Structure 1
Amino acid sequence: MHVRTAKDIGTFIRDQRKRQKLDQATLASLIGVNRRWVMEVERGKPRAEIGLVLKALEALGLDLSIDRREMPGSTRDALDIVDIDAIVRNAKGPAT
């Protein structure tokens, strides 16, 4: 799913909550917020605290992945791509 707005992520959270048969109060309890916060986020509240949104995703068993998309007229080359897995492997050093 491509998320471009607060409403998109709110819709996704609501959909996943319902699929898991959780009510708003239960999700709120898992996150440590009140039901009103869940209602506002599901409606696309643009100023929702990102840390709490991430906790909501975690409570639903979801991961957030960010991908770089091509921009029109972009001249990005291979040097602009960051491989976080390679960075972690290099930081750990050679396998023994």
Structure 2
Amino acid sequence: MQLRTAKHVGAAIRDWRKKRGLDQAELADKVGVSRRWIVQVEKGKPRAAQNLVLKTFDALGVSLKIADATVRGGDNADGFDIDIIVESAKGQTNNRMKK
């Protein structure tokens, strides 16, 4: 699934939520937001806070893979692993704090 717009993200969240048997209120509770926020995101709210969108993916058990769309088929073996990027950033932050 390619997520290119806020509407795509919202539709994906709605689809994943329904597949997991959650209603909007249950998902909102898991994420720590209001049901209204979930409704707005599912409708494609263009200015939704990135951290809350990522928290929503996490609450749904969804992982993201970033791929280079210029590579044939939109996928490549050199895609980014967000876990490695986050761990690397944490390590850099910890090293700066130690100095």
TM-score, scaled relative to structure 1 = 0.73
Runs of 5+ consecutive residues of structure 1 not aligned to the other structure: 72-81, 92-96
Q: Which of structures 1 and 2 has the bigger CA Rg?
A: 1
Equivalent position of 1:59 in the other structure: 59
Equivalent position of 2:10 in the other structure: 10
Q: 1:56 is matched by which residue type in structure 2? A: T
| In 2: Cα distance, 1:22 partner to 1:64 partner | 20
Equivalent position of 1:43 in the other structure: 43
Give the aligned CA root-mean-square deviation in angstroms. Answer: 2.3
**Sequence identity of aligned pairs in percent?**
51
Structure in which a larger fraction of residues adopt helix: 2
The count of aligned residue pairs is 78
Structure 1 runs (4+) deviating above 2 angstroms are: 82-85
TM-score, scaled relative to structure 2 = 0.71
| In 2: Cα distance, 1:32 partner to 1:22 partner | 15
| In 1: Cα distance, 2:50 partner to 2:29 partner | 17
| In 2: Cα distance, 1:83 partner to 1:2 partner | 14
Q: Give the secondary-structure state (helix, strand or coil) at the position aligned to 1:22.
A: coil
